[in-house]
Structure 1
Amino acid sequence: MTNAIESRLAELGVTLTDAPAPAANYVPFVQSGSTLYISGQISQNESGLITGKVGDDLTVDEGAAAARTCAISLLSQVKAACGGDLSRLVRVIKLTGFVNSTPDFADQPKVINGCSDFFVEALGEAGRHARSAVSAGALPLNVAVEIEGIFEIK
């Protein structure tokens, strides 16, 4: 089923893959009423995990690119939660981004912009959201970025 969101993703050259499976004892999403909570999605692409510390192993731009992959995984989870129908997505409510970064690194917001910018580019006003960007001394599997999200669906 193609809708406006999927058409926009195609224009951006983005293909949603199957939603990543949980790596531990949790569920990938929980729906409560019209609110959808998506578990943290880690930075990965077709080549595998995107790992390392931003401010040491990765630049801000590389971190932002890693955050963009988290956004795509979040959207894949939303699609799965909506039975494959992205037209049910109303808006992005809130994102919480964690950046595996060095103790002196202070540009976590610039890294998480990779996710935020993607949602605005793909969804327009419905992609604008509240957000937190937090430093982490380490993340699971040494990934560079992990982002969780809260969405409104119909």
Structure 2
Amino acid sequence: MRNILLVALTVVMGFMVACDDHDVLPPYNTPAKIFQVDSLFHYKDNISSKGDTLKFRIVGHVSDTTVKYPISVTLKAVDSTTQVQYAGNYYKTIAVKYDTSDYYKTKMIRFTDTGTVYMTTPALPVKTKLRSTATFAYGLNLSSQLGTTALTVKNNALTQ
């Protein structure tokens, strides 16, 4: 009986020595980008003094091949000098078209909006210059996997 107890104790001690715990974590590898907005620009840079609609053109890339998650955008337009906000808009989901242009370079699927992203401005004084900012969100993102998600278009001159 004593020998069995000694063998069992030896086996248990052997497992305890074999299961050595380590406090050192492996190095962190940054995951590949899954979402990137490449460009944001207006169809027209001039707005009228009666109020107008700013139409945006958006181009970006996404690495999710299911392309089923929505892209949302928050827009705002402020006076370039006074920083007073004149307009804003939020789109929970924007309509986009996907294609594989430049896929061999980026290994990501390109998307372009279908002309549905716009923001209405009120009547503004002549020579007002606006700065428009857009912040994007993607349905399948982690903070460490995002590329550029906020872009700004500057100096939309108001003409008469």
- TM value normalised by structure 1: 0.28
Structure having greater relative contact order (Cα 8 Å, sep ≥ 6): 1
Larger helix fraction of residues:
1
- TM value normalised by structure 2: 0.28
Larger strand fraction of residues:
2
